[in-house]
Amino acid sequence: MLEGFVRVAAAAPRVRVADCAHNAGEIRRLMERAARERVSFLCLPELCLTGCTCGDLFRQETLLRAARTALGALVRASAAHNLLVAAGLPLALGDKLYNAAAVFARGRLLGFVPKTHLPNYCEFYELRHFSPAPAGIGTVDFDGQAVPFGAPLLFACEELPAFRLAVELCEDLWTPSPPSVRHALAGATVLANLSAGDETVGKAAYRRALVAGQSARLICGYVYAGAGRGESTTDTVFSGHQLICENGVTLAEAPPFADGWALSEIDLPALLHDRRRMNTFSADAAAGSYVTVSFSLDTSPPNLTRAVDPRPFVPADTQERGARCEEILTMQAAGLATRLAHTNARAAVVGVSGGLDSCLALLAATRAAGSLTPPPDILPVTMPCFGTTARTNQNARRLCASLGLTCREIDISESVRRHLRDIDHPADARDVVYENAQARVRTLVLMDLANQAGGLVVGTGDLSELALGWTTYNGDHMSMYGVNAGVPKTLVRHIVRHVADTCGDASLSEVLRDILATPVSPELLPPENGVISQQTEALVGPYDLHDFFLYHTVRWGRAPRDILALAGTAFAGVYTPDEIRAWLRVFLRSFFAQQFKRSCLPDGPKIGSVTLSPRGDWRMPSDAVCAAWLADLETDPDPTPSP
């Protein structure tokens, strides 16, 4: 079961201007829909109880009294639902009138949040009717209940402490200093915006960017409810644009002039993880002025409606993926070019196997050399041994030829045999010594060739291999600059495919496609009938799964049981729950046991948000124990969300 996700919805009732009874009925229907769909928080638009286009009718006592009556009926109706609601209305207090949000749940009115910034420009004349929010917190007598009133209000869920709601209204977000900034620094994880902005050309795109950007800046969930159908169109049109964003990502949207309903789940543990990680996200000095109002909800984990990306490192959109691949290759080349120039290297030596990783490293090295004046030499070397197949050997040569490079071949078979004899290793023992000896001899050859050429060795190992420790210590584990160290295996494949699709060279494209079609293998055991006998994913597990595990472990600090549940959703129909659990167990054991290899990694460029450099984002003791993680994995017998 997935814990810590809260389902939210943004919706716009079909209003009738100044008809509070009708509007309350429409809101009640939305509340009933939200309850049926197991929504925990429903955000409704600004002034939705009256309509936002009432104009000078806001000064009419009849309208104000009708709005209070309608709100009272909605609060009482909420007793039947497991739901927190925020709805807008005009609220008269003494000689002031406020544009306010009422927040209520389970038959209890929790608080009123008045609007802070009132627009009085262009088509907006709010200061004609309303007063800005006063400083601090007061109380309002509502049906005999003293209800908190003020902008610095936090609404905290007793059953799910990570769910802390704060509210701002429409223009508040568009100002240089939105109240939501203070709300978030005071601890709010979910921000609600009750809005009634009209629609103009280009405004929806700006609004979308604004809401997503604010959710990123504040590391929060942001629920935006815009007024829609039924508002007066005397001079303006309202579109019912609804948005739910989380940490810069739009989770759900009801586009302008659609049905006005958006629903998704906000990942509260992920938000808290990022806030803890970023030491610049610090509590505001004004946080002490906030008043926290508690409420109670059944927050049983919902079945996710939001997508869980099975390949979080790889953009699903084709155009975005191509741009990402080009950006990464440029970053790799830039990092290597700087290192080549700094060390006055006359050459970049690359061990080329005919596989994906060495292919990408060679592509990056070629691009790096081309950016320098004079360009250093690129010296590709292929070193066939016991497990090398004709296919990979030929592809290594074809790749170099297509790039205009001369590939040097050094058969290391006899060197490895001699080494094994020197250490009295049985010739027929196909064990780890037999395999690793080949990797270490290859590294020895590359290092000495780099010395001969006055250059450096370009490492080929990728991020996924480093996570699993699928690399020979002081063999392919070592280089003088690891260009692939920040690139996960699932993305390596797409970068190579991107080059194949865009290079404009038929011979290069052809060999790249054959490399892509070759099974991933270290080729350290003899082939069977000329075919690769040692396939990496059959031994350590599918890289799709391992990259998913890596992303959620390192980027979000998730517990294994939550990763298991997310993977069950992401890979439903692809891997069985038992397969996911088994490979996650392999990942955890390998990740912990192999940290010693990552503790002494060569330099290499950080590419994305997940990196395992001991000098950068990931500093883990090499003798850390994974017992607690394995135990957590066994606590949930079902890696799928509850219905």
Residues 6+ apart with CB under 8 A from 549: 563, 567, 583, 584, 587, 588
- Alpha carbon distance 576, 214 (integer Å): 38
Of 173, 168, 253, 238, nearest to 211 (Cα)? Answer: 173
Active site annotation includes 327: no
pTM of the predicted structure, to 2 decimals:
0.92
The pLDDT tens digits of the residues spanning 436-473 come to 999 999 999 999 999 999 999 999 999 999 999 999 99
The pLDDT tens digits of the residues spanning 88-120 come to 999 999 999 999 999 999 999 999 999 999 988
Average pLDDT value over all residues in the chain: 94
Question: Is 269's pLDDT higher than 80?
Answer: yes
| pLDDT category of residue 125 using cuts at 50, 70 and 90 | confident
Angstrom distances, CA of residue 125 to CA of 225, 356, 417: 21, 63, 87
Least confident segment among 141-155, 224-238, 442-456, 561-575:
224-238
Q: Would you call 456 helix, strand, or coil by DSSP?
A: strand
Least confident segment among 70-79, 167-176, 524-533:
524-533
Domain 318-633 in the same topology as domain 7-295? no
Amino acid 281: pLDDT: 87
**Torsion over CA of 332, 333, 335 and 336, rounded to 10 degrees?**
110
Active site annotation includes 170: yes
The pLDDT tens digits of the residues spanning 513-522 come to 999 999 888 8
Of 559, 528, 543, nearest to 470 (Cα)? Answer: 543
Q: What is the mean pLDDT of residues 543-571?
A: 96
**Which of 20, 26, 46, 126 is the catalytic position?**
46
Q: What is the mean pLDDT of residues 601-607?
A: 96
Active site annotation includes 510: no
**Which of 52, 54, 115, 199 is the catalytic position?**
115
Asked if 382 and 408 count as a contact pair (C-beta separation under 8 A), the reply is yes
Amino acid 636: pLDDT: 57
| pLDDT category of residue 639 using cuts at 50, 70 and 90 | very low
Asked if 348 and 336 count as a contact pair (C-beta separation under 8 A), the reply is yes
Distance of alpha carbon 546 from its chain centroid, rounded?
Answer: 16
Q: How many other CB atoms sit within 10 Å of the CB of residue 467?
A: 26
**Which of 20, 48, 170, 245 is the catalytic position?**
170
Question: What's the CATH superfamily of 7-295?
Answer: Carbon-nitrogen hydrolase (3.60.110.10)
Query: What is the percent of the chain where pLDDT is above 90?
Result: 87
**φ, ψ at 170 (rounded to 5°):** 40, -100
Q: What is 318-633's CATH topology?
A: Rossmann fold (3.40.50)
Task: Parse the chain into domains and list their residue ranges.
Answer: 7-295, 318-633
